Structure 1
Amino acid sequence: MASFAAQAALRAKWTDLVESTDVSTNVTSGMKSVVGWLKQASLDVREVGRRTLTNLSMPQEKITILHYNDVYNVDQGKAARFLTAIKQFDSETPLVLFSGDALSPSMLSTLTSGAQMVPVLNAVGTHCAVFGNHDFDFGLEVLSKRVLDTNFPWLMSNVIDNETGRALGDGKVTHAVDWKSKRIGLIGLVEKEWLETLATINPDEVTYIDFVEAGQKLTSQLKQEGCDIVIALTHMRMPNDMKLAEKCDEIDLILGGHDHVYSVEIVNNKYIIKSGTDFDHFSKITLKFESGSHGFDITVDKIKVDEMYDADPDLSIELEQYTELIEGKMDEVLGEFNVELDGRFEMIRTSETNLGNWVCDVILAATKADLVILNSGTLRSDCIHPAGPFTMRDLMMIVPITDPLTVIELTGREIIEALENGVSMYPKLEGRFPQVAGISFAFYPGRTPGNRIERDLVKIGDEYLKPDSKYQLATKTYLRQGSDGYTVFKQAPIIVDEENCLELGLAIQNHFNAIKIRLGKTKQCSKHRQSLVTLSRRHSLVRMLDGGDLDGPTPLRKHLPNSDAVPEKVPRFSRRASLDELENESCLLTPRIERRIITLTEQLGKDLLAEKERSFSDTSIIPEENEISPQDYS
């Protein structure tokens, strides 16, 4: 992991390096790659500036731009009709620009890792694009392959990959084109909010440059080097696009994505345009320049793509090959389990199972939430999966539909309410019965619904649940909307929405891929991969190494009676080794029953409550002074 000081150094050098082609001879080796990256960005801009008007076509006073963003599903002729709609403007020689999100999520992408989107992006004549968050869903190795297969540049102007010293995803920092009578500069900006949610990218291994600062610096540079106008391709929420428009006077036009809406706003005398989603719409933007001037008037036409457009026959034929590939992909081996997985409805809808535990652990690691509650109806195979190779067919049997995930915030009291709903129909084989991770609970099936959860035995990680404390819970969007009786989720604040979360099937695929990376079974050698270990397990280990089990809020520690000893710091290498052991354990693929869900009799309930009381009486809880910060070990 890059140290804070190293990242600060990268960040501090950004401004000077963008503006200079001179590389100091005394920079560190770690900085040289970043220097080269930023130097190349500056050289790219200067190359545009050196081009002369003799290389341009005859001046024209009108430029047509076609813009689209956030496209996912190519089936049912949507993509092929979209191409036909785009082609109707071929006579105007349009500049086609894309604002990110194509490779995921969709059911077909789950099987092809987004390969089916490449011929579409190429066929519509895309000239330049910015990366979207979902373009990273399958990891950098897959993204690199997709970028190589497209015939246009991708931009990432304000995020550095610390491992390579280049733009994240091997994108370009800037791009410029000579279009009719004008020179057009392009930059690609993203927001930090979604960058921090990427399951396949290690946030400690990237350096983020604020989009306003990057926009100001790069736009100024492009204008100085001869660009007539600068267009920012963005993948950000509208408030950040509006902030960019307000703060960056020299940007002429903002073409955005990420928000799945069609929207046109004017801020600081510049247009912000978002062009819908999923091949349903695109924008035709006409720039009309006054003769001999860089000033222009703009008109925006919203183009709706529906059945009035015939599907392009050539693209339709090309996309058919991907549907034919599906059957072959079904036998692809994702990983190998050392134990059988129990997905039988009679078990998974009434009790804890190792399949439910494993799936929920994957969600917990991918979302970095405190806990997971998943309705068992999500897991559809209704069979025992034997130990041995686990294929895409097995995955599709278990999770046959696209299931977006989300993270919400709940109080302890609301979590208990959700659990009460989950066990309310027991012993009926209802899909609302929960499978969980990061939480353990016990319930009395003989009591009336709504009074079955033993509240004093609910634990979040190592700590007993506190009714008024707030916790981050990962679940499906389906449940967040109140389905299956989980109405308590409907009003919960959304911490990470489905747009910034992985789809469940993809999270599982990424887990297998992370194991391969961990074991050195892929070509990629990178720290960027989905986590194999949940944060709760990491925190449990850290607390254990710091001085014993935790049995209360973070500032409290459990000490043996009559012991005044202060836990010694655990050396960093010991901590790292122990975390490595956790990851190695996850690679073994041996999920098991862990008493996350306990079915109580009245007597067993009394026994467990008495055991809890004894554990408290045998120890004393004292405030810990001089709390050791985790940074001390980094």
Structure 2
Amino acid sequence: MDEYLLSLETNVTCNKPEVVLTILHFNDVYEIEARPEEPVGGAARFATALKVFQSLNPLVVFSGDCLSPSLLSTVTKGKHMVDILNKLGVHCAVYGNHEFDFGVDHLEEQTKNMIFPWFLSNVYDRFTHETLGHGMVSSILVWNSLKIGIMGLVEEDWLDTLGTVDKNNIHYTDYVETADRLSAELRDKGADLVIAVTHMRWRNDIRLASESNGVDIILGGHDHEYGVLEVNGILIVKSGSEFRYLSKIDVVKDQDGMFKYTCEKRATMRDLEEDAEIKQIVKGYTDNMQHMLGEVLCHTDVTLDGRCATVRRAECNLGNLITNAMLEATHAEAAILNSGTLRSDRLHPAGPLTMHDLLQILPLKDPVLVVEATGQQLYEGLENGVSIYPDLDGRFPQVSGIQFGFDPNGKPGHRVIAKTVKVQGKSLDRDRKYAVAMKEFLTKGKDGYTMFSSCPHRQDIENAQILSTILINHFESGQIVRGMKRCKSGHRMGLIKVSSSPSVSGEHSCLIHSIIHSDKESLIQYVLLFIV
């Protein structure tokens, strides 16, 4: 990527005879409120930035990622963005990976209320034999008497970031192959200009520009840094993130009838007046948070123990619930969670568990990553986790897929009983690499987990699932499995397996092994037995 960034320019110049089309582009927006530092962003000021060019009859294009993740989307599941994008006057968009964070069914419910089409041209659903999320394959928009062909393309790595869709249930076609086919079809239908709206990394947008035939402009997302590049005569634009930047692209036609392009970067600064309508929408959702926090996520059959004295000193059913959900959502072999993550410090009685309860337990927006850790690193991680026991320290591990015992009287760093350590029921191989799910916090070596800071990540932070969202999807999956909720799309959130789902919610019953004490050791077995 570094060699690409060296080539990025914020302006691509050309002669300026006649502007036949103005495009306003943005991508990857999550937070609707402004931040303190410049450019402040925020949906209300961004709306004003768009209105500056209203007299030009601009085509407003969005390159994906809006429904999640943010603190507000944890509560609304992205519904607030429906109102905002409609009011911003978006004309077309491509699905980003985070559009699927709450499942295909939920996405399709939201897009029905949006007044513009969503495109996805190269990913097909094996259940429906149509594009995933029923994205539009291609279309021609007539704008200023110009026929503009539109398609929506994503990279293959995009599939691995979908936390609620099983990759085996979708069919992917290469974006260059798709672009060539659709460009030819659109040209045959009279398209003067072909735009690929994409949600993929720079290297793939560059490959698209280098190898495809027929695409004129690539309007991209997925990367959050602003950049403009011209490759093979094709303009590639990415407009940053979080409503902080807007790209104004002028399409001009020279005397020979050839199209040329200029691109202007516009920052959303504090001195822009906030749009009154959007400001009211933002205020309405933020003021309404308390009401939305009452939503019931699931009903539990047992009391969940989130007390600090429990979670920081022993295996607990709340820790088991959360780490098992992490394991299911990421398809890792093991999951490890520092118990300081669990913040409610209370018992959650059997019965309804609400959004408010969940955000009391998990108040932070914690991304979950999968790292490749050796057995030795995993062993060292467990040693770190129990090194300060019996102090109520936040490093104490809640785990899933792992079984281990330790001697609390042993010297710190030598407490874990080696012969007891198992991953997925098999003795730990210290030379083998394991896929381990954990918070980004631990991958940075925090809470003493320095052994994980050098582990390769299987995905980047921008594609990570948020821990609270994983739990919301876990509960909803349980309802689908039990038949309490109908899954319209056939994608059962990709999380819970019918035969062996780890859960302590009302969707499944479970038996949790308790702590076994003896004079010399405390053996904590992180094992769940399920009665389905």
Same fold (TM over 0.5): yes
- What does residue range 203-214 of structure 1 map to in structure 2 within 5 Å? 203-214=167-178
Q: Report the equivalent of 1:370.
A: 333
2:366 aligned to 403, 416, 421, which one?
403
How far apart are the structure 2 equivalents of 1:355 and 1:592?
A: 13
Q: Which amino acid aligns with 1:120?
A: I
Q: Which amino acid aligns with 1:154?
A: W
| C-alpha contact (below 8 Å) 1:343/1:379 kept by paired residues | yes
| C-alpha contact (below 8 Å) 1:442/1:454 kept by paired residues | yes
The offset of 1:68, in angstroms, is 0.5
- What does residue range 179-198 of structure 1 map to in structure 2 within 5 Å? 179-198=143-162
| C-alpha contact (below 8 Å) 1:445/1:599 kept by paired residues | no
CA distances 1:254-282 after superposition (whole Å, capped 9, x unpaired): 11111111122222221221110111112
Q: Which amino acid aligns with 2:452?
A: F
How far apart are the structure 2 equivalents of 1:218 and 1:382?
A: 56
Corresponding position: 1:125 with 2:89: yes
| C-alpha contact (below 8 Å) 2:325/2:502 kept by paired residues | no
Q: Report the equivalent of 2:250.
A: 286
Q: Report the equivalent of 2:449.
A: 486
Larger radius of gyration: 1
The offset of 1:137, in angstroms, is 0.7
1:475 aligned to 425, 438, 447, which one?
438
How far apart are the structure 1 equivalents of 2:200 and 2:517?
A: 46
How far apart are the structure 1 equivalents of 2:111 and 2:324?
A: 31
2:56 aligned to 49, 67, 92, which one?
92
1:353 aligned to 302, 316, 322, which one?
316
| C-alpha contact (below 8 Å) 2:406/2:521 kept by paired residues | no
Corresponding position: 1:234 with 2:198: yes
CA distances 1:534-572 after superposition (whole Å, capped 9, x unpaired): xxxxxxxxxxxxxxxxxxxxxxxxxxxxxxxxxxxxxxx
The offset of 1:114, in angstroms, is 0.4
Corresponding position: 1:588 with 2:507: yes
| C-alpha contact (below 8 Å) 1:255/1:273 kept by paired residues | yes
Q: Report the equivalent of 2:103.
A: 139
The CA RMSD measured in Å over matched residues stands at: 2.1
Corresponding position: 1:73 with 2:31: yes
2:232 aligned to 268, 276, 294, which one?
268
| C-alpha contact (below 8 Å) 1:262/1:274 kept by paired residues | yes
| C-alpha contact (below 8 Å) 2:123/2:171 kept by paired residues | yes
Q: Report the equivalent of 2:416.
A: 453
Residues 279, 103 of structure 1: CA spacing in aligned structure 2 closer, same or farther, 3 A cutoff? same
Q: Report the equivalent of 1:21.
A: none
Q: Report the equivalent of 1:336.
A: 299
How far apart are the structure 2 equivalents of 1:242 and 1:223?
A: 22
| C-alpha contact (below 8 Å) 2:482/2:507 kept by paired residues | no
How far apart are the structure 1 equivalents of 2:145 and 2:316?
A: 66
How far apart are the structure 2 equivalents of 1:444 and 1:334?
A: 38
CA distances 1:593-627 after superposition (whole Å, capped 9, x unpaired): 336x877754678xx9xxxxxxxxxxxxxxxxxxx
| C-alpha contact (below 8 Å) 1:60/1:181 kept by paired residues | no
Q: Report the equivalent of 2:117.
A: 153
How far apart are the structure 1 equivalents of 2:390 and 2:351?
A: 32
The offset of 1:529, in angstroms, is 2.4
The offset of 1:591, in angstroms, is 4.9
Residues 92, 601 of structure 1: CA spacing in aligned structure 2 closer, same or farther, 3 A cutoff? farther
How far apart are the structure 2 equivalents of 1:604 and 1:351?
A: 10
Residues 393, 412 of structure 1: CA spacing in aligned structure 2 closer, same or farther, 3 A cutoff? same
Q: Which amino acid aligns with 2:513?
A: E
The offset of 1:589, in angstroms, is 4.2
How far apart are the structure 2 equivalents of 1:581 and 1:83?
A: 49
- What does residue range 169-568 of structure 1 map to in structure 2 within 5 Å? 169-291=133-255, 293=257, 295-533=258-496
The offset of 1:523, in angstroms, is 4.2
The offset of 1:210, in angstroms, is 1.3
How far apart are the structure 1 equivalents of 2:359 and 2:159?
A: 29
| C-alpha contact (below 8 Å) 1:69/1:276 kept by paired residues | yes
The offset of 1:98, in angstroms, is 0.5
| C-alpha contact (below 8 Å) 1:136/1:143 kept by paired residues | yes
Residues 78, 599 of structure 1: CA spacing in aligned structure 2 closer, same or farther, 3 A cutoff? farther
Greater displacement, 516-525 / 183-192: 516-525
How far apart are the structure 1 equivalents of 2:518 and 2:55?
A: 73
| C-alpha contact (below 8 Å) 2:179/2:213 kept by paired residues | no
**Matched pairs, number:** 501
Q: Secondary structure at the match of 1:494?
A: coil
Unaligned 5+ segments in structure 2 are: 1-16, 35-40, 526-532
How far apart are the structure 1 equivalents of 2:510 and 2:343?
A: 18
Q: Which amino acid aligns with 1:458?
A: V
Q: Secondary structure at the match of 1:518?
A: helix
The offset of 1:178, in angstroms, is 1.3
Residues 314, 525 of structure 1: CA spacing in aligned structure 2 closer, same or farther, 3 A cutoff? closer
The offset of 1:517, in angstroms, is 1.6
| C-alpha contact (below 8 Å) 2:371/2:458 kept by paired residues | yes
TM-score of the aligned structures, taking structure 2 as reference length: 0.90
How far apart are the structure 1 equivalents of 2:477 and 2:20?
A: 49
Q: Secondary structure at the match of 1:408?
A: strand
Q: Secondary structure at the match of 1:160?
A: strand
CA distances 1:131-185 after superposition (whole Å, capped 9, x unpaired): 0000011112211121111111000101111222221111110022112142111
Q: Secondary structure at the match of 2:91?
A: strand
How far apart are the structure 1 equivalents of 2:73 and 2:273?
A: 24
Q: Report the equivalent of 1:62.
A: 20
The offset of 1:292, in angstroms, is 5.6
Greater displacement, 320-329 / 455-464: 320-329
How far apart are the structure 2 equivalents of 1:582 and 1:243?
A: 43
TM-score of the aligned structures, taking structure 1 as reference length: 0.76
